[in-house]
Amino acid sequence: MFFRVRHQKMVHVYLLVLVILGILVVLGAMIAYHALLREQHFQIQVAVAKLASGDSNYQRFDSSASQYHQNSVMILEEQKPLVIYNRVPKTGSTSFVNVAYDLHSYNAFRVLHVNVTGNSHLLSIYDQFRFIDNTTRWMRPAFYHGHFAYIDFERYGYKKPYYVQLLRKPLDRLVSYYYFLRYGDDYRPHLVRKKHMDSSTTFDECVERGGSDCQANLLWLQIPFLCGQSADCWIPGSEWALRQAKRNVLEKYTLVGVTEQMGEYLQMLELVIPGGMFRNASEHFKHSSKSHLRKTAKKYPVSRKTIQKFHESTVWQMENELYAFVAREFAFAYAKQFPNISSGHSGTMKKHLKISAIPPPSFRYEKIYPKPSNQQKKKKNTARV
């Protein structure tokens, strides 16, 4: 009797162990299944990108409608940059982007517009992750552009892309936007804007009446765009946001320029973005019609009284501080790169510089160890011959 009871208990224990093992096996299978589905999803995305671009190791972009069709080039995998332009509205961004659209076939890269739902400049945390994951896995080289605040790739464990940006004098940007909503521009001249019925009110009159779309707080846009997706970035007058925006200019962005010097800005991009993505961009900009795209159809000059009122506001002072900071940094970088050319703020280039005209590097390599072998020296001499 004792052995029979003991045997039954052992059977129950074995059955319980088998049930637990079965549950673990099922859970493991489910986890592996979902992981496989996710991996297959990514593989499909990559496959679509490869089919769209033509090959996995090389990408050739041909367009029979393009004047640059015969000049399409191949770019090696390591020379395929990911460039992101989170464009601030009314800073000349349409002119800049259309240069990229003109050159995409000639310089073999993709241009993609990021249309954020509801014209929001902010994305949820998961949407930030999805955007980062998509852009790093999809076709490259690529140039993404859209009206959204800076997204930190490194926060999610990804390598940071080549971020680029243009800023404009704060009050000039707001005044341009004010009249743009009323009169439109030469880019889509027949489109009726949402403030068209209020076109008789000038910016000065709006300020005098305390109108809702000419408030100083509306200047608060360039700082948060460079600051990022944090809540404090979007609080007008936040000192932390200004500091973070400056820090990102120095540490996160490859190059930030100013609208008034777009020609010089394109010259710099030709040098700092690898793979020749912006090859001949400054020359194309200089001789094409893209330099005046999206010019507001009608604007009235702003009175000194209005200017003084804005200059007294904290928000203008902070936005102008960021603009002045960026202008100094860009002028400094440009002067170091092209020491024999004065830049200025005219927005026009003194001279188009070809790569062959760039000064030689101001550094050299020496005391190289281990020293090259005789065979390597012979190869080097042969290559020179």
Residue 34 falls in the annotated catalytic set: no
Taking residue 146's Cβ as centre, other Cβ atoms within 10 Å add up to: 17
145 is catalytic: yes
Q: Alpha helices of 166-238 — where are they, by DSSP H?
A: 170-183, 203-209, 222-227
Q: Could you tell me which of 25, 274, 39 has the C-alpha nearest to residue 162?
A: 274
* 314-337 and 304-311 helices, crossing angle to 10°: 90
Quick count: other Cβ atoms within 10 Å of Cβ 246?
18
Question: ∠ at Cα 125 (255, 216), nearest 5°?
Answer: 60
In one-letter notation, the amino acid at residue 297 is: A
Q: Classify the phi-psi angles of 328: left when phi > 0, otherwise alpha if psi is within -120 to 50, otherwise beta.
A: alpha
Catalytic residue among 104, 145, 190, 311: 145
Taking CA atoms, 273 is separated from 22, 28, 63, 95, 123, in Å, by 55, 45, 23, 19, 27
Check 147, 190, 287, 352 and give the catalytic one: 147
**H or E stretch including 165?**
strand 162-167
**Active-site residue list:** 145, 147
